[in-house]
Chain A
Amino acid sequence: MQIFTPFKRAVRLLTISFLLTTANSFAQDVAFNNRQSPLNRQEETAAYKTLGSLLSEIEKKHTISFICRSELLEIKINADKLNFKGKSFILKLKEAIKPLGLSVKQVTKQQYVIVKTDDPITSTPDRNEVSDATLVSSSTSGGFSEKELKVSDQAIRISGTVTIAANRSPLQGVTVAVKGTATATVTDDNGSYEINVPNEQATLVFSYVGYLTAERLVNNQQRIDVVLEEGVKALDEVVVVGYGTQKKVNLTGAVSAIKAEDLQGRPITATSSGLQGLLPGVTIRSYTGLPGQNGSSIRIRGIGTLGDSNPLIVIDGIPGGSMDILNPDDIESISVLKDAASSSIYGVRGANGVILVTTKKGRANAKPNISYSNYFGFQTPTALPKFLGSPDYMTLLNESQLNVGRTPTYTDSQINIARTSADLNYYANTNWLEEIYKDRAGQQNHNLSINGGGNNLSYYLSYGYLKQDGLVTGDNFGANRNNVRLRLTTKLIDRLDLDANVGYVDRKYSESSEDVSEAGGPIYASHQISPLVPVKFTTGGWGYLGGSRNPVAVTTDGGYNNFASQEFTGNLNAALNLFKGFKVRGQYALIKSNSQRDIFNKTINYFSPVTGDRIYQTNFPSKIDKRDYVNTYQTVIGIAEYERSFNQHDLKALVGASQESNESESFLASRTNVVSPDVPNLNVASANLLNSSSADQTALQSLFGRVNYVLNSKYLAEVNFRYDGSSRFAKDVRWNLFPSASVGWRLSEEKFFSSLTDIFQEVKIRASYGELGNDKVGNNYAYLATIGPVGGVPPIGNVLTPGYAQTAIPNTILTWENVVKQNIGLDLLLLNNRLGITADYFKHNTEDILLRVTLPDVLGATEPSQNAGKVENKGWELQVNWKDRVGEFRYGANFNISDVKNQVTSLGGVPPTFGDQVRFLGEPIDAFYGLVADRIAQVDDFDYNPTTNVYTAKFPFISGDKVGPGDIMFKDLNKDGLITLADDRQIIGNPFPRYTYGFRGDMDWKGLDFNFFIQGVGKASGYIRGAARHAYINESANPQKVHLDRWTPENTDASYPRFTYQLAHNQRFSTFWLEDASYMRLKNIQLGYTLPNRLIEKYRLTRLRIFVSADNLFTKTDFFYAYDPETPVSTGGYYPQVKTFIFGINLNMK
């Protein structure tokens, strides 16, 4: 703790000076609030009430409602002698607020508006006005002047409903005003309004906080339904940032955000996959479509580390959760923090970027809104290999054997048996791909939520259910998930805001006892098994001919591997408003998960169709394996915040402390020889009673802070710091400080810019610089020498013998990676806020990379991670939004593209790492490294000796390779006349995708909505290995249709080299096998129709939308046909990527 003490002192000092500033500024309160009203200078005594509470009282007494600007609600009134019981309450109220420069006017029978007596009517918002994010039901389009406000009694009565563009649900509290007059009303809880207008030339103005103001000419209409669009008014847009929120205009860091509606209506099973292509600079790749396990890898601005490159996920302020098990329907917004300015407040875990997920909460003063949505649909694979049938398999096997001087396996008569299907037991012709996959797998989703709230309490309660079936034959594959979330937000004793957010997830996923993996499991096995094997013998039992297991038998009868997890998240947040602008917040969160895995390896017996005796067994002996995992994560966070404006100065400051701990435990027990397979329980298994357990813990302590300063709404500055201590490092090197600073300049606010403001509504440039860390070493105790149990010990004394050994070499001076991030960015809003452009250029330099420096194996153990080496990521991002309306046709488009160039700039003085993927100075991390293929060698490239039948190559080749005509010729890069792996390989590709882009278009017209989303990668390399790509390189590498175009003396212009049975010299990694993994894909397309209100009103429905949607419908790519380009490096065993087709409904009722 010695290191910590001086820092603690520093913080105390900081805190004290902070308090001094606070006290001074409070004294100046009046001065800098004078642009509102002088009234809040009043002393606080029991007799004073806020105008807000006064109005609430009246509302309750008289079943009327008030409209009032939010900043007025805080005004204190001496209410000591007032009573509003009688019928003259309006007059009394008028009297009471008159000294404040306010008045009250009736707008409908039961609605009144509080107006400033000196307010002019404005139909556009005042740009400089700071809007209040907590605003509940007032208009930002200004109040109404006393002299013009009058209740209209004229002829034309207009009615209609106002709904939200995103989900077509009705919006309550929207101000509907007649332009140029004081006539106004607000919508009720069905979003309905009625208003009188003076004539047909009148224009109605619809406004609501957080939504774009809409105007409609009355003409001869009597019903005007309006759809308001959310968040378009970018000036007021608020973005969630670390430990708080920030107005988008004041952001100086690089932050991208999406909102709930960006994910709506898509069959998203894991949130991470749903983010793909939506956010510039965020590269998302999914390797599997496995039900329940199909999350994606997320890389923000490239790979800055050779170790763990996953960004930190923060859900409702709690770091380290999994967004893939959240219900996507519960998500309100997702922010991605990409540069140092935005993410350095997450210190030692921020190096890979930070993703902030915020869940929904209830809306205060709103009647319960019940919303239900569902979809039903199915999935099919995007790409599958096509294997050849038995006769081809046998013929080509012989060819491959003769090619390498071996004896052929099959005689012509045997091939003929297969061709004529004369023996369905031993010479079957099975298409294993058809057998292992079902035609389609179902998927369905249901979401039910209720939200609403009163004055002091709002609530959001939701239940979500997701069910996915598997594409693999048998009943074992599938997943389901139940999400429950309850969020209560309440205000106590006027100053204390409490927010309780409780989530519960109960999920399950299952596979067969052999689980799907890259190079194993039933899918891989279905690629490896010979087509000669029947699925079932004609005698009825499972087919088996040796060499490989029957994958259909395994997935159908071989038992299961079930995983179930219950996860509880409790997140309590208390904010105490100590005095104006200053509040302290405390947060406690607990994430407790309890998971179980049940594996039942059920023995399958195979019986000979000839003798009936057992010829083979899989999963013998049968085995029950039960595992239990418990994980407990806890964090406590304390934050003090101060926010104030002084004349031209806007100041925001935050300081906080937190600590986190994570403890996990697991327990495993297994037994073999299950007596009755119908009761798969440990108790009914009789042999090999084994058990084991493991446990693990980590902790983190932190102090952090941030100061934002805005001058004249033009000049923006921000400073962040975080001081972290991590248990992953030895005591002496445990603590470090991560600072950052950023500045911004809103050019559009400058006088010299005023002539351009008709075109440009916002121009901002910003720059940031800072440091971040990464403490993910892989092993939590890499600095400690630990000794644990090891395998492989022979049964000394003829019994199971345990052995122990040191399992890893420690590195006692191991510490975090340090990343220096630089960013400059430009934000533009133009053409009447319709076009938004954000561009960023960044450079990230990672130093002290935690690198497992591959050392000579004489070391005798896995190398520890060391802080060595540097990596640079440079790149740019561009995002363009367009949103507009033509009459009733509303449309929008969003395009984003980004690129990142990754380069190893230092290897810390150690030699480069070699292999198919390498780490070289000046090259991308894990760049593809291989031989350069020239062409396929022809007979002419050899000297032929007819007596010995030997071909001698006239070109250089790798010593030891059995080269012949039809083999790949490699380029002699160093021109020494020899091909060697040491000297003739070079960088041939980069596995990390470049130019990732997304294009989204959406439009709606009279209740009909349509949107599409295209996503792609401009440049990437891939590598399909082993039997997924090649034939006969081992006994179970089966030929695919593409292999028919192999080299033979007759087919010299071939796309595949000659078959060489069990010799893989042609398959050495070279440019010949490098795949182009770029692609463009129609990620989602969706068509919806919202029924007109008049059709559904009688069913108490406020909204009913039906939709159809499809994911991954079309893909354009040059990638190897059999696999998906989103899985660019593969051995073929992954669960395929899927196309999903769904239809569903969204409905709301009150």
Chain B
Amino acid sequence: MIMKSKILFGFLLSTLFFVACKKDFLDRAPLDELVDETFYTNEETLQLAVNGCYAYLKGKATVDMENLGDNTLNSSVNDYQRIGSGNFANDLGTLNSEWATDYDGIRRCNAFLENYVKAEGREGVKESMAAEVRFIRAYLYFYLTQFYGDVQLITKTLLITDAEVNGIRNKKAEVVDFILKELDEASVKLPLTQTGANLGRITRGAALALKARVALYNQKYDVAEKAAKDVMDLGIYQLYTAGTPATAYNDFFTYKGKLKNGTNKETILARMYLTDVSVHNMSREAHVPDQASRWNPTKSLVDAYLSSDGLPIDKSPLYKEDTYDNLFKNRDPRMTQTILAPGAAWGGRQDGKNLTSTATWGIFTVPKWISNKLGSVTITGYYFTKYVELSTVALVGRDENDIHLIRLAEVLLTYAEAKLEQGKLTQADIDITINKLRQRVGMKAMNIAEIAAAGLDLRTEVRRERRVEMALEGQRYFDILRWKQGSLLAQDIKGMKKSLAFRASDVANLPADAQGYIIAYKDRVFTDPKNYLWPISLTQTQRNPNLGQNTGW
């Protein structure tokens, strides 16, 4: 009996042994990830963390933001277009995803900024990296303030128990001051140029240029002027003029203008793309050869281009609207480098003219209206050529053009506008800014005296310059809002005159206004002040009622 008890006890003990004595049996760390404490240790891991923050640079999304404004009409609805048209409620997806994504990025930046000091490494290198991250955080706050006005200003990684999680919004002005200060401080830590393996990283110029944009958008014209001037004075950047004036502007947005080619000194910050790694689909969207184009220039944009005599089309004797071809003649040369002109190469295959021969499919002659899946259909009568790389139209999602987030042209325009708004814009200022841009494309120079003589408004002309130079670069919506021109967004989106169609039957069933212009999209609304800001999304107000809501929503 005792014997048995011993055997039994021995058995149970040995059972307990393997349970109790292997102390670390339950300590199971992840086998394929690093744990916080061991991560921020050296320059290499810091670099990986900085790279993680770059994922929040917006890239092609900035071009898509053009749908918010009045330069383009998508044949298909997207959230930006819904917002631009005013026909949306606070449950629209983008209202929430923009907020959530920006704050995701801000958390990632905050995590770096809280931890980078712990790492071993050269002080200068670490601070330069931190400055890149501070730029990205400021960039995200810039978009948040643009869309939502007041937003929560979070500068640390929040714990779920932190009061800020359910906090109230900070005033927009406070956040803007933060952005400007951060960019100021980052700019001095950042290198002047980033080359080789660092090509595409943030530079001092980028910090100053973004500062200029933020200041301009927030009516801090003196700050904007100074920041813009600081960029201009760096002496690093110059307008892209490779090739001929007839092509330079257009080339800049194709593969020719890619940073890696080394000829582009205009771009201050680009979101780079690379085949098989990170690509976009802009070219195919513009000329999609079997559907309706996603990018249809509006009558409003087409009409914004001056005649080559420097006068608006309604004042210029050179302007003729008798044929489709003539629309494109004697205009600011940027027009045909932005909007596809008859005779230009395109990727849209069958156009509206030649329905039998396939020999001329590479050249665009007249717009195509009939959706027969053989060529790119327009819904306004126009197509874009800016940002279209013809070699990739036939492929899906194979574009690797850089998306230029900030370029010298914008800085020059900012400088001119900032001066103007302070009432001190001189011809000399125009000559080193707007006229540089006109000079690149061979457009007649802007002259204050001539503008006055023609009875034109200088401010309108400076703003027009910004619109045509920056078309498709995602700024039109913000410009309309800050210029308080919201009513523009309530207008019907129109296309060309029906009478210009090559075959009247093709456009017979399309609605048109009294003057015969095609109405491509109607029932747009803009309520002042409601539509000057986005609403805080339903999801966020339900999760945190303390956020409140923007006026009118």
Contact = CB atoms under 8 A, between A and B. Distances in A.
Interface in B32-72: 32-36, 39, 45, 48-57, 59
A410 interface: yes
B96 to A, nearest CB: 8
B200 A11 contact: no
Contact of A803 (B15, B55, B543): B55
Interface string A1064-1092: 00001000000000000000000000000
A807 B32 CA distance: 13
Interface in B1-18: 1, 4-5, 7-9, 11-16, 18
A787 B9 contact: no
B523 A798 contact: no
Contacts of B13: 12
Contacts of A959: 89
A788 interface: yes
A892 interface: no
A914 B32 contact: no
A697 B28 contact: yes
Contact of B200 (A16, A408, A794): A794
Q: Among the interface residues B89, B96, B361, B379, which one has the most CB atoms of the partner chain A within 10 A? A: B89
Given A407-B379, A859-B158, A799 B510 contact: no
Contact of A799 (B20, B29, B39, B197): B197
Given A26-B1, A611-B361, A785-B36, A798 B28 contact: no
Contact of A407 (B277, B395, B511): B511
B278 interface: yes
A1 B28 contact: no
Interface of B: 1, 4-5, 7-9, 11-16, 18-20, 23, 25-36, 39, 45, 48-57, 59, 76-77, 86-91, 96, 99-100, 103-108, 110-111, 152, 154, 157-160, 164-167, 196-201, 259-260, 271-274, 276-278, 288-292, 358, 361, 370-374, 379, 394-396, 505-506, 508-511, 518-523, 538-545, 547
B55 A856 contact: no
A859 B200 CA distance: 29
A546 B291 contact: yes
Given A405-B522, A693-B32, A860-B104, A855 B51 contact: no
Contacts of A4: 20
A5 B23 CA distance: 11
B294 to A, nearest CB: 11
Given A911-B542, A1068-B91, 13 more contacts: A12-B16, A405-B519, A411-B505, A546-B373, A610-B358, A696-B32, A787-B34, A795-B272, A795-B274, A796-B199, A858-B103, A858-B152, A911-B543
A515 B525 CA distance: 43
B32 A788 contact: yes
A1053 to B, nearest CB: 27
A781 B36 CA distance: 12
A672 interface: yes
Contact of A914 (B7, B164, B292, B542): B542
B28 A786 contact: no
Interface in A11-25: 11-12, 15-16, 19, 22-23
Contact of B35 (A1, A19, A696, A786): A786
A141 to B, nearest CB: 37
A981 B32 contact: no
A807 B39 CA distance: 13
A800 B400 CA distance: 13
A451 B7 CA distance: 35
A961 B25 CA distance: 59
A414 B373 CA distance: 12
A914 B90 CA distance: 14
Contact of A864 (B160, B167, B292, B370): B160
A672 B7 CA distance: 63
A12 B16 CA distance: 9
A725 B276 CA distance: 46
Contacts of B99: 857
B234 to A, nearest CB: 21
A405 B523 contact: yes
A792 interface: yes
Nearest to A854: B543
B394 A615 contact: yes
B8 A855 contact: no
Interface in A848-865: 853-861, 863-864
Contact of A695 (B20, B32, B540): B32
A545 B361 contact: no
A552 B277 CA distance: 29
Nearest to B14: A638
Nearest to B200: A796
Interface in A786-810: 786-788, 790-807, 809
A1013 B152 CA distance: 60
A48 to B, nearest CB: 19
A856 B8 contact: no
Nearest to B520: A407
Contacts of A700: 26
A426 B246 CA distance: 38
A545 B373 contact: yes
A857 B272 CA distance: 28
A795 B278 contact: yes
For the complex of A and B, the 10 pairs showing the least CB-CB separation, nearest first, are: A860-B107, A546-B290, A638-B15, A695-B31, A803-B51, A792-B55, A803-B52, A805-B52, A785-B36, A857-B100
A1107 B481 CA distance: 76
Given A780-B30, A795-B277, A787 B36 contact: yes
Given A1-B20, A411-B370, A411-B509, A640 B11 contact: yes
Given A620-B395, A727-B27, A803-B55, A797 B373 contact: no
Given A578-B7, A784-B35, A981 B90 contact: yes
A1112 B491 CA distance: 57
Nearest to A695: B31
A657 B26 contact: no
Interface in A553-597: 578-579, 582, 584, 586
A962 interface: yes
A640 B54 CA distance: 60
Contacts of A786: 30, 33-36
B15 A793 contact: no
A982 B542 contact: yes
A5 B9 CA distance: 18
A163 B27 CA distance: 55
A961 B20 contact: no
Contacts of B14: 638
A616 interface: yes
B59 to A, nearest CB: 7
Contact of A861 (B90, B104, B274): B104
Interface string A689-714: 00001111111111100000000000
A610 B539 CA distance: 50
A796 B108 contact: no
Given A26-B1, A578-B4, A805-B52, A855 B543 contact: yes
Contacts of B96: 857
A687 interface: yes
A616 B152 CA distance: 46
Specify which of A656, A800, A806 lies most central, judged by the most chain B CB atoms within 10 Å of its CB: A806
B337 to A, nearest CB: 26
16 contacts: A1-B20, A426-B374, A611-B358, A693-B32, A702-B19, A785-B36, A788-B33, A791-B55, A792-B55, A797-B199, A799-B197, A802-B51, A807-B33, A856-B166, A856-B547, A911-B543
B11 A687 contact: no
Contacts of B50: 803
Contact of B9 (A19, A798, A811): A19
A958 interface: yes
A657 B164 CA distance: 47
Contacts of B506: 411
Given A787-B34, A796-B201, A638 B39 contact: no
A672 B273 contact: no
